Amino acid sequence: MLKEFRVFILRGNVLDLAVAVIIGASFGKIVTSLVNDIIMPPIGLILGKVDFANLYVDLSGTPYPSLADAQAAGAATLNYGAFINTVVDFVLVAAVIFVLIKVFQRAQAARAEQPAPATAKDCPFCLSSIPIKATRCAFCTSQL
């Protein structure tokens, strides 16, 4: 059973998937940082110096000066600012994946459009298919 497991793990598909998951997780961290540290602060500034990460609704009925204070007190909160950040994060990841897939599809289409080099030609006498380098037709023995 251990041998079967080792064969399973060493198959190319499993290793490719593992690499994809690791790169995907790292990419997700980069996009999250992009959203939280670069995109959302200017948007918050434009909307009146709003920090989206600190937007919340207190459900406990006790007013708190900040989200951190409410969470430290154990109050129930709806953190809609964090939700907005997550939605923007998702939209950016989806857009980047969409662009990458489009680029990949165009590259595949360009590669598919290139004709394969000819390896055969037609004999002008009998119209049989013969190799390009042939000097005599194998079917009608005509000199080419």
Query: Are 126 and 142 in contact, with CB atoms under 8 Å apart?
Result: yes
pLDDT band (50, 70, 90) for residue 28: confident
The domains found in the chain, sorted by start residue, are 2-113 (1.10.1200.120), 115-144 (no CATH)
pLDDT band (50, 70, 90) for residue 12: low
Return the higher-pLDDT residue of 93 and 78: 78
As a whole number, the mean pLDDT across the chain is 84
Residues 76-81 have a mean pLDDT of: 88
The answer for residues whose C-beta is within 8 angstroms of residue 138's C-beta and 6 or more apart is 128, 130
pLDDT band (50, 70, 90) for residue 102: very high
Return the higher-pLDDT residue of 75 and 118: 75
**pLDDT of the residue at 46:** 85
Place of tokens 């680029």: 103
Burial of 40 (0-12, 13-18, 19+ CB in 10 A): buried
101 pLDDT exceeds 80?
Answer: yes
pTM of the entire predicted model: 0.55
| Best mean pLDDT range from 14-18, 39-43, 71-75 | 71-75
Q: Which helix (H) or strand (E) holds 54?
A: none
**CA angle (43 as vertex; 41, 47 as ends), nearest 5:** 115
10 pLDDT exceeds 80?
Answer: no
